[in-house]
Amino acid sequence: MVATPILTIVVPCYNEEEVLPETVFRLSGVLDALIADELIASSSTMLLVDDGSKDATWALIERFHEANTFVTGLKLAKNAGHQSALLAGLMKAKAYSDCVVSIDADLQDDTDAIREFIVKFHEGYDIVYGVRQDRSADTFFKRATAQGFYKLMTSLGVKIHYNHADFRLMSKRTLDNLEKFQEVNLFLRGMVPLLGFPSTQVYYDRKERFAGESKYPLRKMLAFAFDGITSFSVTPIRFVTLMGFLLFLLSVCAGIYAIVGKLVGANVTGWTSLIVSVWFIGGVQLLALGLIGEYIGKIYKEVKQRPLFVIEKDLTAHATAQSELT
């Protein structure tokens, strides 16, 4: 254990010009205070990852980098999505940090909790999960869908932390092992618990977005949830198999019923039931095919192993040099 670890706070930013000045201000305050209390090394920094923003986000990052020694930056060539932008930052930061904290740019997560993360890191934990204990700032709809999602994931046997998103601390060795995953379909909050390193939780209150709008509209949120499920569980496919088996049993029963009816002379009138069952089975088959196709699509993406992000500009040279000195 390093006495005063080098911390890097990684912040994915997509069109965040409205919040960024405040975010940088608050995170600088956090770093300042932690350095003053000798909880982290003086070469600790924050890494702002511009995920192909269309507004002035990158211009701001460059400006802050000039004026504030805590600020480093990474510019992705195009929008890669939250998870990939986060991974880009994590993998960059781990080269020169002892621990890394990931946090969203919008200040919904409590920056003061970072101190508790660091205290836990000093106690020997490799992973510290930030858990939202109060989500009243989120809309009812967001809370309800999120809760349904956590329940579904747990019932499918996926180990994820309830009410934890991507606000967490990870040690260097955690990140070194995370790098080995090489997954294209990224769902970091499901991958980190798989590592099995000593972990703990810190509770905080979730706030409203400081400024700007959510970059996760319903469509993206649903796609993310669906990706999470199909990247981590094959239970849906098993369910399809089970459904096929049940339908088969049902058709055997119906067959016996029809044959016995014929033998005893009862009239089997069945056009309606015939049509209904043909449509029903047709529908179920298409659904099953679609679901299997979803998994095949995932395999297709994985085997290509395309890079998840392309780094266009890198403002971390100073942080890297600093860590080599210490």
Residue 126, exposed/middle/buried by CB under 10 A (0-12, 13-18, 19+)?
buried
Stretch that binds ligand UDP, among 102-110, 174-182, 197-205, 254-262 (CB under 6 A): 102-110
From the list ligand UDP, Mg ion, none, partner contacted by residue 105 (C-beta under 5 to 8 A by kind): ligand UDP
Q: Does 14 bind ligand UDP (CB under 6 A)?
A: yes
Q: Does 168 bind ligand UDP (CB under 6 A)?
A: no
Q: What is the largest CA-CA distance in the chain?
A: 95
Q: Does 177 bind Mg ion (CB under 5 A)?
A: no
Q: Does 106 bind Mg ion (CB under 5 A)?
A: yes
Rounded to the nearest whole angstrom, what is the least distance from the CB of residue 109 to Mg ion in the complex? 8
Which residue from 23, 108, 230, 316 is in contact with Mg ion, where contact means CB under 5 A? 108
Token couple for 304: 């290509």
82-93 helix and 188-195 helix, angle to the nearest 10 degrees: 40
Q: Does 228 bind ligand UDP (CB under 6 A)?
A: no
What DSSP string runs through 58-113? HHHHHHHHHH-TTEEEEEESS---HHHHHHHHHHHHTTT-SEEEE--TTS-S-TTH
Rounded to the nearest whole angstrom, what is the least distance from the CB of residue 302 to ligand UDP in the complex? 21
Which residue from 65, 75, 82, 92 is in contact with ligand UDP, where contact means CB under 6 A? 82
- Which C-beta is closer to Mg ion: that of 44 or that of 108? 108
Stretch that binds ligand UDP, among 74-82, 177-185, 250-258, 301-309 (CB under 6 A): 74-82
Query: Nearest-CA neighbor of 49 among 23, 26, 31?
Result: 23
- What are the C-alpha distances in Å from 166 to residues 4, 123, 188? 24, 21, 8
Which residue from 9, 16, 17, 101 is in contact with ligand UDP, where contact means CB under 6 A? 16
CA torsion sign for 88, 93, 99, 103 is negative
Q: Does 53 bind Mg ion (CB under 5 A)?
A: no
